[in-house]
Structure 1
Amino acid sequence: MPDIMFVLPVRGGSGGAHSVMQEVTALRNIGINARVLVNEQNVASFKAVYSRFEWTKEGVISFSGPRHLGEIAKNADVVVATTNTSVHSVAEAIRETKAKFRTAYYVQDYEPLFYEAGTINHRLAVSSFGILQNCTYFAKTRWLCDIVHATHGHDVRRVVPSIDHSIYFPCRPDLAEVPVVTAMIRPPTPRRAPRRTAALLARITSGEFGPMRVRAFGASQEDLHEHGLVLPDMVEVAGILNQTDVSELLRETDFFIDLSDYQAFGRTAAEAMACGAITIAPVLGGASDFIDNGINSFLVNTGNPTEITATLNRMFSMSDKEKNTMRYAAMEAVAGYTPVRAAISELHALGFI
């Protein structure tokens, strides 16, 4: 069986890390020797975040630097980078240890967009697409495949996204008498448009669209205050949640709103749909892979306030019959995003089957 190592030097908790952990779990369950390499600064946090996966005790391995990474991975069939920094670590590991393993880059987002052009971090993110020889690139959305091909000339293999349906599932047969609106707000991340989101939540709680119960997660009150964001008292701030808590919140949600500038995939929107929520997501990015606008949820140009308002009016004015029809279509749209399908698609992308 193939020996695959994913290099994931993060604390855990991001959508990309969730993807890798779900898919490595599925790979291991079908007999693949798949493991995750985490840098020693983050490994304790990472294991704590993903403690619900029992295999992390032996399957998450700490590395102290590129040379150590190369020594750990020297017998792997393929080493998969998952962030731009991990690409550089893998490249340096090969240089320092002369390791012969194949390389791949699981492109979770187009990371040059994270940084201001001309900065060191931006240059590192751009160069990550040119330093691994004979690298296999794969990504989960057409948007990511297209942007990498257009910008860097690489053919990018498209794989199936994954949702953990063991925790993201519908469990409420009826719509709430007072609709529940949920949004994620992340103050430190400008591309997630926290101020735009906060302003919209204020409009919703004002009664502009009718009576609503409004909830937000992704930041504590202290985080909001630190970044100069004030939410109305009527917004229930759930704070920073783990995956299980997010799933419980989404199962009680009628409408989920993501006003990010773009989403490379749109994980939380897809997870909300899996829980039976109708979703608004940005038209820019990967959400169009699973959202058929106006049929199973809504896509919106999040930079256009008039379009946002029109979409909200349309969504909130639907009849119960229309809402239920859309809810069922939303659940159906993402039902095939299983970790096993994702894992098998990655084996195809890597040439093992």
Structure 2
Amino acid sequence: MPDVGMVGPLGNAASFQSVPHLTNHETGEWNKNPLENGWNISMMAKAALLLAQVPFLELPILNGFVMLIQRQVLEVIGFMNEEEFPYGYGEENDFAIRCASAGFKVGLAPHVYVWHHKTKSYTSSERQHLLKYSGELLKHKYGTKLREAVKNLRWSSDLLGIRNSFETTLNSSAESLSSSLSILFILNIMGKKSKFMLHGGWISLVQEAVGLCLQGAYSRIAVSEQLIDNFNNAFPVAHKHGIFVGLKAVSYTDLATEITSKGVLYDYYVATHWSTVEAVQRVVKKYPNAISGYYVQDIETGFLTQVRQKIVVSKTYFAAKSGFVFVKTKWLQQQLLQNFNVSAYLISPTLDTKIFFSRTSSWSLRIFSVCAMIRVETARRNPLKTLKILIDLKTQYQGRVIINVFGSAPEDIQRFLFQNNLTYNVSALTVLGILNRNEIADLLRRSDVFLDFSEWQAFGRSGLEAMGCGCVPMLPMHGGTSEYAVHLKNSILIDTRSTTSALLFFHQILTGKVNLTKLRIKAIETAKLFSIEVVSTKTFQLFRKFHEEWRVKRYLNPSLWYKD
């Protein structure tokens, strides 16, 4: 901004540049705005940056407590008038008017806050005398021009908006701004009749949020209000940290409005589903110095059937690329780059080792046990082929094998088979229905092999959870499972285009050709590397580094505010 000649910041006691209040409502004098309980100067400065709509707001005159003056201004109009204002007070107004008259812009940097201790050079009576003297002199020199300047400042809707924003923030953002980093993850809107069914993406997100809290960040997840009790019950540790925030919005336009109306400021607003990207974009349009993020947990275009919807989803990847896009597997990173030319940061996946841990005492004493998740409503999880493999395995080995399935109710599985004109003997399997996380962990500890016969997995959380419980996962070789799974080292990777590969490996295990104990021990060792406590340090460092670089860029290059 080469035409800006003179700029000043917001402050606590800076006349018309003061926040959050202009005057003391009891005395009518300028408000000194002492810091509210729980607030410090750094928090106020952070609020200024996040609340600022523009990098520069043109004003007629400035408070003189802090000013940044371009050298060219001094070369054109000279220095401040020490002859007429030898003791200060008024010289900044005189200088600002001369600066503007010479064609330079004068104004406010609303993203900067500086604390002002007020008068330290003069006593109160001396200050009043100087104010009276300079006021008369300025009135004589500039008359109507000065009166108009003061009038415009007093009734400025821009300055009023800044003060109102600060007042709202002081009532709601103390906790988020006192943290070294603040992040709001935004889940997709769930209808009032939606069933609460946990899936891997949610679990990953909650564990990442908990990990960031453990590192000192203020991390929250926005969820549909009617499901907040379900989330709190499903994730008691996250509930303890106060991670879930309920929202009433039923549309994504309303979602963005509700988030901003709460007045809680965050450094990051992170979409977690393609449908929430637009809401995040709307939020950061209001808060241009906040970071728009997108936690891509799958390539949704891979399982959508309608071309129009695929196009819509593809556009969300492009829309988010100017912010902080991140994934948890190299496979997802490659897919985004190859198919959409979107670069993504890589964070490590996490495992809750307080739930998914192993007990080794019963390995050699039990009948060979297999478990699998059946999700009849998710075609890419290959429910039909998974059931066929398990029934064929039971038919071939009878009492030598125990097979448990979970993830769908027994009646839903029967209905699914009927709809597909199949008569599989599901009674040969033990159908446990929908289990909670602790029940899944108990099942995995009782099992020797966990079968995931999905067409592909962007990550495959259940496979890593199985490892933590000492259960060897049999996983699709296609996708992101290689982030933790190494074939015949700690897992078994199979080609899920044919059921033959899975049955072949089951046969090799049961005939002793695959050393399951060796795989199991390595699986447990691998799982420990992904504990929330271990991984969260690196994730936090990545978020913080990106934030620091982002903030410096915004300060040094205001033109970035207007991009997009």
Answer whether TM exceeds 0.5 for this pair: yes
Partner residue in 2 for 1:183: 372
Tell me the residue number matched to 1:352: 545
Number of residue equivalences: 349
Q: Distance in 2 between matches of 1:339 and 1:106?
A: 17
1:151 has 2:357 as partner: no
Aligned partner of 1:205 in structure 2 is: 394
Distance 1:113 1:153 in 2: 16
Match of 1:80 in 2: 270
Which of 16, 32, 36 is residue 217 of structure 2 equivalent to? Answer: 32
Paired with 1:87 and 1:176, the residues of 2 have a C-alpha distance of 51
Q: Kindly indicate whether residue 330 of structure 2 is the aligned counterpart of residue 136 of structure 1.
A: no
Equivalents in 2 of 1:269, 1:23: separation in Å? 18
For residues 210-258 of structure 1, what are the alpha-carbon distances to aligned partners after superposition, in whole Å with 9 as ceiling and x for unaligned?
A: 7100100001112112322655212111110111111111111111111
Q: 1:104 to 1:98 in 2, by over 3 A?
A: closer
1:1-353 aligned at under 5 Å gives the runs 1-9=180-188, 11=196, 13-51=198-236, 53-55=238-240, 58-63=242-247, 64=249, 65-72=255-262, 75-95=265-285, 97=286, 100-120=289-309, 122-132=310-320, 134-173=322-361, 174-208=363-397, 211-228=400-417, 230-318=424-512, 322-352=515-545
Identify if the C-alpha distance between structure 1 residues 347 and 177 changes in structure 2 by more than 3 Å, giving closer, same or farther: closer
Structure-2 change in CA distance of 1:93 and 1:231 (3 Å): farther
3-state secondary structure, aligned to 1:324: helix
**Within 1, Cα distance between the matches of 2:365 and 2:306?**
46
Q: 1:14 to 1:72 in 2, by over 3 A?
A: farther
**Partner-residue secondary structure (3-state), 1:53:** helix
Q: Secondary structure at the match of 1:206?
A: helix
SS in 2 for 1:291: coil
C-alpha distance in 1, partners of 2:504/2:415? Answer: 32
Q: Distance in 2 between matches of 1:54 and 1:221?
A: 31
- 1:109 alignment partner, SS class: coil
Q: Secondary structure at the match of 1:181?
A: strand
Instruction: Give the match's secondary structure for 2:450.
Output: strand
Gaps of 5+ in 2: 1-179, 191-195, 250-254, 419-423, 547-564
SS of the residue 1:54 aligns to: helix
Larger relative CO (CA 8 A, sep 6+): 1 or 2?
1
Structure 2 distance, partners of 1:169, 1:199, is 30
Q: Give the alignment's Cα RMSD to 1 decimal.
A: 2.2
Matched-pair identity in %? 25
In the alignment, structure 1 segments of 5+ residues that lack a partner are none
User: C-alpha displacement at 1:6, in angstroms?
Assistant: 1.1
Runs of 4 or more off by more than 4 Å in structure 1?
A: none
Distance 1:170 1:266 in 2: 19
Alpha-carbon deviations, 1:263-310, whole Å to 9, x = none?
A: 111110111111111121000011112221112111011002332332
SS at match of 1:6: strand
How far apart are the structure 1 equivalents of 2:346 and 2:364? 36
Higher Cα Rg: structure 1 or 2?
A: 2
* Cα deviation, residue 2, structure 1: 0.6
**Secondary structure at the counterpart of residue 270 of structure 2:** strand
Greater CA drift, 237-246 or 17-26: 17-26
Deviations 1:179-218 (A, max 9, x none): 0110110000000000001111111111248710010000
Mean Cα deviation higher: 280-289 or 3-12? 3-12
Deviation by residue 1:7-48 (Cα, 9 ceiling, x = unmatched): 123646111111111221122122111111113354343334
